[in-house]
Chain A
Amino acid sequence: MFHHLLLTAVHATIQQGNVNIDNNRCKGCGLCVATCPAKTLQLSNNVNTRGYNFSQQLRPNRCIGCASCALICPDACITVFRTGLRKTI
C-alpha cells in the first residue's frame, strides 16, 4: 500500500521525458497537442518568425517520454529525450 502510494507520488512529480521543439519549424497544426496522452503540450499565444502559434511544453513534469508527439508531427520539429524510470514505449 505504502509502496503504491510512493510510486504514484514519484510518477506525479518526477519527470520521465523531455521534449525539445524547434519553434521556427513548427506550423502550429496542433496534432501533437491532441495526441499527447499526458496533456503536457499546448499551442503558444506568441507567434514564430513565420506567423504560426508554435507548440510548447507547458507542464514538463507530466511528460512520460512516449514520443507520440514526435511520431505524429508532420514537420519533424520535436526531439524527445527519456529521462529515466520508464523502460519501454
Chain B
Amino acid sequence: MLLYKKPSLLTDTNMHYCPGCSHAVVNKIIAEVLEEMNIGTENIIGVSPVGCGVFIYNYIDIDWVEAAHGRAPAVATGVKRMNPDKLVFTYQGDGEVTAIGTGEVIHACNRGENIAIIFINNAVFGMTNGQMAPTTPLGMKTTTCPDGRDPQLNGYPLPMAQLFADIQGTCYVTRQAVNTYKAVKNTKKAIRRAFDYSLQRKGTSVVEIICACPTNWKMTPVEANKYISDFSVKTFPLGDLKRP
C-alpha cells in the first residue's frame, strides 16, 4: 500500500538548495497542498521572490510571476484583482518581508488583499552568505555580527507575525516550523488553511515558517533543526496568532 510519494506537481529537476535546507521542505509542502486542493493548475498563480527561493518556478509546475526584490505582494495584488477567482500566493524570505519589502507587505495586508503570503524566516540573509537579518535572534553569530547579535548595537529581532496580527486586513496569521515531522504536518495544515481563506476572500493570510539555514548557521542539518527546537522558538513562539 502506497503511503507517501513525491507530489506530482513537484518537477524532477534537482533542487539547487544546500543539503538540509528548509526551503526545499516548504516547496514540497506547497506542492502537496496544491495537489490535494485539486483546483487545476491553471487556477493557481504564484509570485516568486528574489533570494534563495527564486528558482521555485522551476520546481513547482504551476504558473509563476517573478517580482522585483520585495515587491511580490504588490505584484500579487495586481494579479489577484485581475483574476479574482484564482488562487494567488507569494513565497518570500525574510530579506523581502522584513527588510527591502516591508512597505509593500504591510500595505498589502492593510488593504486586505485576498492573497496568501508564505514567509520563510531563516534568520539570516542566505543568498549573500549569511549576513545578519532583522530577524536574527539575540546572541546568534553571523558574518556581520561575529560576536553574536547585540541589542545595543544591532537592535532587536523583528516580530513580523505579531505586526501582521495587529493589522485589520489580515484574516489568518500563524507561525510554524519544519524542523520535525510533526511540525511539517502542522505547517501543511496551516498552508492549506491560508489557501482556503484566500479563495474564500476573507482577507490576507500570512504563514510565517521558521526555517533552518545549515550552511550559513555553520551547523549540520540535524544540529540546525535542533537549534530551532531549542533556541529559535524562544524568540519566535509557534502557533496561530489570528484566526477568522
Contacts and interface: CB of A to CB of B under 8 A. Distances in A.
Interface of A: 17, 25, 27-31, 34-35, 50, 52, 65, 67-68, 70-83, 89
B192 to A, nearest CB: 15
Interface residues of B, number: 29
B24 A34 contact: no
B187 to A, nearest CB: 10
Contact of A29 (B7, B20, B180, B181): B20
Contact of B10 (A30, A34, A76): A76
B9 to A, nearest CB: 11
B111 interface: no
B4 to A, nearest CB: 4
B234 interface: no
A50 B14 contact: yes
A74 B59 CA distance: 13
Contacts of A77: 6
Interface string B1-28: 1111111001000110111111111001
Contact of A80 (B4, B15, B22, B184): B4
Nearest to B14: A25
B154 interface: no
B221 A30 contact: yes
Interface string B167-183: 00000000000001100
A75 B4 contact: no
B99 interface: no
A50 B18 CA distance: 12
Nearest to B2: A81
